Each structure stands twice: as C-alpha cells, then as structure tokens.
Homo-oligomer: A and B are copies of this chain.
C-alpha cells in the first residue's frame, strides 16, 4: 500500500493542498442523501391537513447557504466561487430525498460543497421534524456524479 491522503504531507501534517498549477475549468458535482422519518411527518411537510408551510423552503435555503460556507466548515477545503447551487427535496412515503447540484469554474471540484448542502438541508429538516419525530436519521449522504476537471466525468458505480 503506497497510497496516502493528499491532505497530509509526508510527515502526516494536515495542509490545504496546492492547486495553483491547475487550470480553472467548469465543474459540476451532484450529491444526495435521505432523511428517514415517519409517514406522519411527510404528511405534515406536504401540507395534507394544514396550509403547506415554509419547512421545505427553509431546508432548501439552508442547504444553498451552507454550500457557500463549505470552506469555513471543512478545514482543508479551498474557498471556491460557486456559479450555481440548487437543492431539491422529494417527499417519499416515510422519507425525504435530498439532492444538491453545485457548479463552479475554478481549480478544484465541488463535491464537498454538494455534500455540505445535502447535510445541512438534512440537519434543517431534522430540526423541524424533531418535535414530532425525534428518531429521524440522515442516511446515504454521498456523491452521485462529478463532471469537469482533469479527471472528467465520474459516476458512482452501482452497488456501492
């Protein structure tokens, strides 16, 4: 095994890796995740018996805002100028599916920004539903695909 984490130097010290030799190119990343909760919570979010409120909008906006602050949260991430962020929420039977798509034209990829958007949208949903369902859990937060940069398109393989 000769691989090593690029975020650590040869002595093991953390560093923000040097991307100054890379060209700024268009890059996109898509990440997804799921909040598992109850059918009752999903009905409340859908507004089945009540006026549909700001809950989903709050989670979408929290995800978008968090994407912009990724480099403040994840210590070794580069600050990037994002050119677009969208967060989609789909209500299932007893879960909410979250998807985030982030774009940049910069020297490194935006998968951490997409993952951060999904995580914080998930945390915000958890916050809103916790009085009704304290057992909600956030699962399967992961990168689905990446485009652009030197390595080109990467799509998550089936079965992982």
Contacts and interface: CB of A to CB of B under 8 A. Distances in A.
Interface string A30-71: 000100000010011001111111110110111011101101
Contacts of A1: 40, 43-44, 48-49
B126 A115 contact: yes
B81 A14 contact: no
Nearest to A104: B20
Copies in the complex: 6
**Main SS of chain A's interface residues?**
mixed
Interface residues of A, number: 96
A74 B127 contact: yes
Given A53-B8, A57-B14, A119 B134 contact: no
Interface of A: 1, 3-9, 11-20, 26, 33, 40, 43-44, 47-55, 57-58, 60-62, 64-66, 68-69, 71-88, 103-107, 111-112, 115-116, 119-120, 122-124, 126-132, 134-143, 146, 154, 156-157, 160
